[in-house]
Structure 1
Amino acid sequence: MKRYIAFLRGINVGGKNKIQMSCLKASFEEMGLTEVKTWLNSGNVIFSRDRNDEEDFSGRLEAMINERFNLDIPIFVISKEELEDILNNAPDWWGDDNKETYDNLIFIMPPTTPVEVCREIGKPKEEFEKIKSYRNAIFWSFNRKNYQKTNWWSKTASANISGKLTIRTANTVRKVIGM
């Protein structure tokens, strides 16, 4: 059995795309997945399965969400080992204990690449934010009190590329990796 994490994009945000975590968990279990756990109310699902076909499996999970909840939700699936590798390659400035900094990990839905994301969103404003890409993720940190001055804050939510991203905080990523 191999451990995986599914990050559902944009559920239970501002009263939109509502899915109860207990129903989501049951739906994953009905697909034959085991050791299913959810974290927070924002679409973090940890599960085990025998097969190793994340890209194809994302599509099947999306179809299940559409069928059961009538929602068109992109899902990023990653193995626990891949996520650990990404975290092991985090830059020194990402995910530390500095409370003035907000650290995010942006997951990029295949076949989109970090180069495409950076090309569309543009360069970070160095005085307010930092980015570094590794594999299918981008480490992104910004100053909490100046977040509105960053280049990436509004664009990750409103740019054409936004539907191909799902973002989690450093704390959330660390929590789900340990589940």
Structure 2
Amino acid sequence: MSTHTFTNTGAGPKPASAPAKPIAPGTRIGHVHLKVADLDRSLAFYQGVLGFELTQRFGAQAAFLSAGGYHHHIGLNTWESGGGRPPEPDRTGLYHLAILYPSPAALADALRRLAEAGIELDGASDHGVSLALYLRDPDGNGVELYWDRPMEEWPRTANGELDMYTRPLDFRLLLDTDSGS
């Protein structure tokens, strides 16, 4: 087995064509780990408003949160960022983390939680493939809360290619979804 060293020259990798073998279809992004300025403030948002469960906490330095008993979907830490400021808008970094909800009713519940907590949305869209709410967490990180439509309902062109779009989200229709779903 040979080893290779990747040297980042700052120029980035050369553009490449599609890989000969695509990544395995079952591959998923398992969790996100965020640098935050104030752990308690972030916990109030991710645990208190969105409803994630605390699975482990390391004092005022780190916490791990989950949906449904997984070890963690969201990690929060102040190791390098305690008391820090959000990045400037013209900087590289995280655009947003996306949290996938299992049903439109679960997304409607998230919308109700945000409204009750007085958290403003940056936007809300119907993308054809999904319904999405966009907002900022207490550290200015972009957060997308969304539900994916079943793949067979995704909009397609006459050639069968994906045809995503951005249209205003119908809040009334979303909030009218059966809360038992």
TM bracket (short chain): under 0.3
Greater share of helix residues, 1 or 2? Answer: 1
Q: TM-score, normalised by structure 1?
A: 0.24
Structure number with higher relative contact order (C-alpha < 8 Å, ≥ 6 residues apart)? 1
